[in-house]
Structures are given as structure tokens and as C-alpha cells.
């Protein structure tokens, strides 16, 4: 196979879809304007902005105006982090297992997905083998939902102080207890 090198001084000296780089015509781009609407220009190449996985766990990446856009699918809500991740919608309130959908159990007054290993959980969750439910991963309390704290890299129901409890309860031994 033979490739013909075309020398150039400006882009107009090159074929459509090619640019003049270092006095040689190459297939590529100088800016996003040289690419299709679903691609952006990076290192003189038109690429899909979603190809380098800019979104966090469980997030969907779509291209809009040559930029990656992260969103959550149905049943998930955004979890503000450096990379937009999606976490499960909080489980419906419950008092007993029969109030929960199949594949869930009632734990800490909420329906939670049942698991026997990490394989049954999402990428940003771990299976708590003690309770048999998937729990979100965390590094600090701010990564967890309201009413949860970060313990051993997973979010668990609890509190650190009275301010983490409803006004009619106090935080005693990391649990909100009625006064």
C-alpha cells in the first residue's frame, strides 16, 4: 500500500478532512469546528469526548455540542463528586420485608438491594456481608446521604452529633435516639 505525502503551507492546500501540520497534509483537526457535532478535537484528532470515560460510576455519557454530558438513568440520582457519579434512588420507606420489591430487604427503615457478594452490587457499592445488602462506597461523611455516615469506606445509617439527627432525637453511640 502506498501513501502519497502532500506538502502544504495552509489547510486549503490539503484534501477535505485533512489539515496542514508541519508542512504535511494529515487527516485531523485544529479545532472542534473541523469535527462532526459528535466529536471534539484533541491532539489534532477528532474523537468522541465520551471515549475516555469522563463520567463517574453508573453515569451515562452523551455528546452534546462536541462536549461530554453526564447524566443518570432512571432509578438513579446524581452524587456530587469530581466525576459525576450516580447512586441508587434512596429505597422506599418500610417497616418489614414484605413492603419491599423483589430482590430487596427492609433494613434501617428503607428497602435495600440484597447481595451475597460485590458482584450483586453496582460499581460504587460494596456488599455488606453482615447485613446482606449493597451499601454505597465513601471516603468521608459528605459522600453519604442524609442520615448516614462513612464507616469502613461504606455508608451506614448513623450520626456523628445531634445535628445529624431530627430535632426530636439525640445522637447516642452513633445512632439517632428519641429523647
Q: What are the tens digits of pLDDT across the range 158-174?
A: 888 888 888 888 888 88
Instruction: Name 128's bridge partners.
Output: 133
| Same domain, yes or no: 40 and 61 | no
Domain CATH code at residue 83: 2.10.25
- CA separation, residue 17 to residues 2, 38, 47, 150 (Å): 19, 15, 13, 52
pLDDT confidence of residue 84: 61
| Same domain, yes or no: 115 and 158 | yes
| Same domain, yes or no: 143 and 62 | no
Mean of all residue pLDDT scores within the chain:
85
Counting the structural domains of the chain, the total is 3
| Same domain, yes or no: 5 and 16 | yes
| Same domain, yes or no: 99 and 169 | yes
Per-residue pLDDT of 54-94, as tens digits, reads 888 888 899 988 888 888 888 888 875 556 678 888 888 99
| Same domain, yes or no: 40 and 54 | no
Q: Domain span at residue 93?
A: 88-178
| Same domain, yes or no: 121 and 151 | yes
For residue 33, name the pLDDT band (cuts at 50, 70, 90): confident
Contact 143, 155 (CB under 8 A): yes
| Same domain, yes or no: 20 and 92 | no
Provide CB contacts within 8 A for 11, sequence distance 6+: 18, 19, 20, 30
Amino acid at each position: 500500500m502506498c501513501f502519497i505525502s502532500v506538502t502544504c503551507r495552509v489547510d486549503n492546500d490539503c484534501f477535505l478532512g485533512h489539515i496542514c501540520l508541519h508542512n504535511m497534509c494529515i487527516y485531523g483537526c485544529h479545532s472542534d469546528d473541523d469535527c462532526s457535532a459528535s466529536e471534539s478535537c484533541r491532539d489534532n484528532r477528532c474523537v468522541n469526548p465520551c471515549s475516555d470515560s469522563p463520567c463517574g460510576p453508573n453515569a451515562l455519557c452523551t455528546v452534546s455540542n462536541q462536549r461530554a454530558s453526564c447524566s443518570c438513568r432512571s432509578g438513579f440520582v446524581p452524587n456530587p463528586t469530581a466525576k459525576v457519579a450516580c447512586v441508587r434512588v434512596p429505597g422506599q420507606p418500610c417497616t418489614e420485608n414484605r413492603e419491599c420489591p423483589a430482590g430487596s430487604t427492609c433494613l434501617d427503615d428503607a428497602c435495600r438491594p440484597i447481595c451475597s457478594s460485590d458482584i450483586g452490587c453496582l460499581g460504587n457499592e460494596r456488599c455488606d456481608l453482615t447485613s446482606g445488602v449493597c451499601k454505597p462506597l465513601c471516603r468521608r461523611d459528605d459522600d453519604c446521604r442524609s442520615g448516614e455516615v462513612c464507616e469502613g469506606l461504606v455508608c451506614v445509617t448513623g450520626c456523628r452529633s445531634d445535628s445529624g439527627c431530627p430535632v426530636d432525637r439525640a445522637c447516642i453511640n452513633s445512632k439517632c435516639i428519641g429523647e
